[in-house]
Amino acid sequence: MSVSRRLLLLSNSTMSDKPYMEWSKDLIYQFLGSNVKNVVFIPFAGVSIDWDKYEDKVKTALNKLNITSIHKTRNYLESIATSDAIMIGGGNTFHLLHQLQHFNLIDAIRKRVIDDGIPYIGWSAGSNVATPDIGTTNDMPIIWPQTESALNLVNYNINPHYNEWKPEGHQGESRSDRLNECIVVKKRPIVAISEGLAIRVEGDQHIVVAPDLNIPNNKRMVKIWKHNKAANGDNIQVIDISYGQDIAPIVNN
Ligand code: ASP
């Protein structure tokens, strides 16, 4: 019998007006349920934060869970193999992927999530690495991983912290300009999610989760960039997604 994949992919950890992880902690508790005892936390995206401090911050914010940061464990592969859930925090996505590859954790994490069905929680960089590659991160390549290929737990790219700001007079690319370029080359769907939103994957369903945060809809949005092959030439579509929508029919087709 095949097991069901379970992921909670959050755009961000902090909302500007709330304490760390406040907006998402109930989503995380509900997602994990009561059977999850030990959660391994991966702090490798942290560059200017010390990993001990990062662990403390996450443990304090999610104090109902029994969280251990992997950097405190003796054997990294063993802690992936024996934990009930995997949680990967934000920071610099290149640094995170570099470390995951350096410690040989890519296949080990994939096995636990895809074959064993243990829950995966990521935010920001932790959501970026759940996808096939990290080409749609907003981060700078401060270090080069061996390859851009990531965990490949879902079949689309994610752009976290999505926004449509364009300061007046600014001549650089907007976020959507960059995503337009990306899809021309990669052709794979890109799911752009603003802060305060998540994608919850349960088996074949990929549901947009939007807790009540009193944010106007034009500030909190999900859009999917989609490349379509057509007889009269390829085209690119940008599709607006509603809260609560299952995006599987769009990203799988
Ligand atoms: N730096 C982001 C994070 O908070 C990731 C991103 O924007 O791509 O993890």
**71 catalytic per annotation:** no
- Ligand 1 within 6 A of CB of 122: no
In which region does residue 14 sit, left (phi positive, over 0), alpha (psi from -120 to 50) or beta (all else)? beta
140 lies in some domain: yes
Q: How far is the CA of 232 from the centre of ligand 1 (A)?
A: 37
Residue pLDDT, tens place only, 105-144:
999 999 999 999 999 999 999 999 999 999 999 999 999 9
Check which CATH number belongs to the domain holding 157 and give it.
3.40.50.880
- Residue 86: inside a domain: yes
Question: Is there a domain that residue 177 lies in?
Answer: yes
Kindly tell me if the per-residue pLDDT of 13 is higher than 90: yes
pLDDT (tens digit, 9 = 90+) per residue, 220-241?
999 999 999 888 888 999 999 9
For the Cβ of 160 lying below 6 angstroms from any atom of ligand 1, the answer is: yes
User: CA-to-CA distance for 180 and 225, rounded, in angstroms?
Assistant: 8
**What range defines the domain where residue 70 resides?**
6-251
Residue 14 lies in a domain: yes
Q: Could you say which of 13, 69, 79, 124 is catalytic? A: 124
157: left (phi over 0), alpha (psi -120 to 50) or beta: beta
Among 87-91, 133-137, 214-218, the minimum mean pLDDT is found in 214-218
Structural domain contains residue 215 = yes
* Higher pLDDT among residues 160 and 234, named by residue: 160
Distance in angstroms (rounded) separating the CA atoms of residues 127 and 124: 5
Q: What is the pLDDT of residue 1?
A: 59
pLDDT in tens, 16-56: 889 999 999 999 999 999 989 899 999 999 999 999 999 99
Is 90 exceeded by the pLDDT of residue 72? yes
Q: What is the count of structural domains for the chain?
A: 1
Residue 1: inside a domain, yes or no? no
